[in-house]
Structure 1
């Protein structure tokens, strides 16, 4: 009787062990199959870099030639926009080392270090494409471009948003869909060695919201009661720009020093205004495309008491500062 019970338990134990080993085998096989599939998807190990030279201002073509690829994301390491095509053109505006990263099919990641060297002087300036561009344009506003290069027979316009050639015509129009600094490049007659690159600042289109206060009395709301009186001038005469006494000598470096003085509480808002045009105050635009008024910017610097780094200004033809670009080094700054 005792031997019968022991044999029965032993048979039961053997079945359990077999089931456990079988489960482990099936699970291991499943993991191996998944890894094999992933290896199949991530066989991309290289992408092509084509350029006459890796110099500042030169057009560089990056392309993925792998098979079975259906999505791409290019990161160029210079704070430019992500490109989503298999073949893209890019121009680096500063020398240095840039880590180029390509993600294929949201799975495969390939990186390559590209060194951009200073532009050599062995460039024939007479062969450079000739065109003009405004200093800034409003987001969503159409702007016209025209090439004035002598002997030009073909054109390649790139406006810094799509990562591809945007127009092949001598005259063209474009509407920027996102704010920030955009690099506009033009190549004529397929001469990739001579590329003219100019920058334009796209001012974000800020939606105006009208706040209507609720009144408890029966007096009708007057929408014009808080509007200040216009300057006492002839309504048919153009508005005269009133300049502060310090405006002529204000540049990027001087504005950084001035903001440092504001942060230390040594400069009042009235003295701050001496560097700007009275009826044409600039808009402040941060690196993340957020905007603020000049007064809000002054109060934020004064309240935090920290130094603002990397400030760049844009002036108009009357030497008035129209845009202040601020590169926030600390996310918690404002």
Structure 2
């Protein structure tokens, strides 16, 4: 009995060791469960368009290193062994993009690819670019963006009538309060609206207390750019939170028309700069530090000068 018992114990031990080895050799699903992929449009207009180069990016390339990757694009095309790749669709439609890892883990994502006609219909709707908050007596800049416009009628809600007829206008509110800006163009059946809050000036001892709003705005932009630089690639929503904050609060023109000068010599547009700051500049060995930001105007920024440096981790 003792010999049989020893044989049984030895056999069970061998089976246990073999099982552990097999488990170790199997792909780790716990690691793969954190894998996701994102799709970026090259012109940054938040539309996936026919013949546009779309970038497909895995959030953690280190986790899939050495693994077998297969992209199925939803139209019978397949691409192998690329963690990041670019692809263009030749026809509009809704596509199910599938990423297979080691033939054992699958990630699916639907994307909608639109035609040029669909995009034109979307982009034909005018947009009002301007601040949502200002001060009594402050010169505020507003601009209309959209295709096919040749006439503009602005109502700023204070005079009760049409106040301006240009594509880009400057308006000063005489009284604090809540206002609805209305823009009527030749391309719209109904006015486009934009809400704004006008705050009162602060007066003390018959003197207006002024705050260097430009300095405050520059430091505010610097903090949000630093947050973009510090955000991990996988934190895509956090990146857009800070990017959209700067764009919506300080720009009255599209972000790709705002010029960025880095350390006095490197020129880029704001969108391209932020993408590079988030995906390319910072890495595991060094981190970008935004030292100073200078802007040309307070509420309708067209040029940003950035001084930045690198710190070793």
Same fold judged by TM-score > 0.5? Answer: no
Q: Larger Cα Rg: Structure 1 or Structure 2?
A: 1
Q: TM-score, normalised by structure 1?
A: 0.29
